[in-house]
Amino acid sequence: MRADAAAVPLADQQRALHAAMLGAPAGPGLLREPTQHEPLLRIYQNAYRARLVAALRDNHGVLPRAMGDEAFDALAEAYLQAHPSRHPSIRWFGYRLAEFMAANPDLVPHPAFVDLARMEWALREAFDAADATPMTPAQLAALPADGWPQRVLRFHPSVQVLTLDWHVEPAWRALQGDDEPELAAPEAGEHQLIVWRPVLETRWRSMTSAVEAQLLAATMQGEDFSALCEIAGDAVAVVGVVQQWTTEGVLIL
């Protein structure tokens, strides 16, 4: 620091250093001998940015492989400039990436990549969600029959539902290994994806049933079992969906 740096409050020095890390000119009081120390500052700048870009890669494991290094690095640099890391944990860096991609289509080679980013972030959020014990089929069967009309089902805290415009699930699955498979162009088609983590393993599946999607949305809004039956028009169909949810570990008591 400069000789007069002691007169600059520490908090101001820290803010100046943070701004310099993001590429702003080093303000007064930050460098004692600018000519000598600016190269050192650039090392810190490059290391800081490289670490955040690496974190973005780690937090979206498949997306960088699908996009390619050059396209992803350009996206990461633009995202870092627009949304510097604000959270104490680097784990959460990138939580607005899909939103940023949707707002900047010139940085995204294909619009399906936005849905791929959303899917990957949902999987990470599900993994970090609060723990809860899934309801078992035996516990479901033991629930009093006379209470079912007013019963409101409860989902596991990890459950998320995404509405996707592209079928990105095959690409996500294909890119889980170490190989570099040739990916077919994604198919357009609005559908819903449910993501959850019943115990230690995160799971997902595409919902192909419009009835299930309607029931899931209504359940999340607090509708009781009788309302679900009205939506489906068939109590047997609702029971079948509830049994499936229970088997998958989606519901809790």
Note the pLDDT tens digit of each residue in 159-213.
Answer: 999 999 999 999 999 998 877 888 888 999 999 999 999 998 999 999 989 999 9
How does pLDDT run across 207-229, given as a tens digit for each residue?
989 999 999 999 999 999 999 99
- Looking at every residue in the chain, the average pLDDT score rounds to 89
Q: Which two tokens stand for residue 91?
A: 């784990």
Predicted confidence at residue 178, as pLDDT, reads 77
Predicted confidence at residue 42, as pLDDT, reads 72
Among 80, 61, 75, 89, smallest CA distance to 21 is for 80
Percent of residues, the chain, with pLDDT higher than 90: 70
**pLDDT, greater one: 24 or 236:** 236
- Whether 97 and 120 have beta carbons less than 8 Å apart is answered as no
Predicted model pTM: 0.84
Among 214, 204, 207, smallest CA distance to 238 is for 214
Among 100, 223, 96, smallest CA distance to 152 is for 223
Element (H, E) at 111: none
Predicted confidence at residue 106, as pLDDT, reads 97
Predicted confidence at residue 170, as pLDDT, reads 94
- Whether 139 and 253 have beta carbons less than 8 Å apart is answered as yes
pLDDT at 1 over 50: no
**pLDDT, greater one: 101 or 88:** 101
Predicted confidence at residue 248, as pLDDT, reads 97
How does pLDDT run across 224-245, given as a tens digit for each residue?
999 999 999 999 999 999 999 9
* Spatial CB neighbours of 138, under 8 Å, sequence gap ≥ 6: none
How does pLDDT run across 96-119, given as a tens digit for each residue?
999 999 999 999 999 999 999 999
- Which 8-state DSSP code applies to residue 134? B
Percent of residues, the chain, with pLDDT higher than 70: 87
pLDDT at 4 over 60: no
What Å distances lie between residue 237 and 56, 116, 203, 209, CA to CA? 42, 31, 23, 11
**Residue positions counted in the chain:** 253
Residue tagged 């600059």 (tokens): 8
Reduced to 3 states (helix: H, G, I; strand: E, B; else coil), residue 207 is strand
CB-based burial label for 39 (10 Å; 0-12, 13-18, 19+): exposed
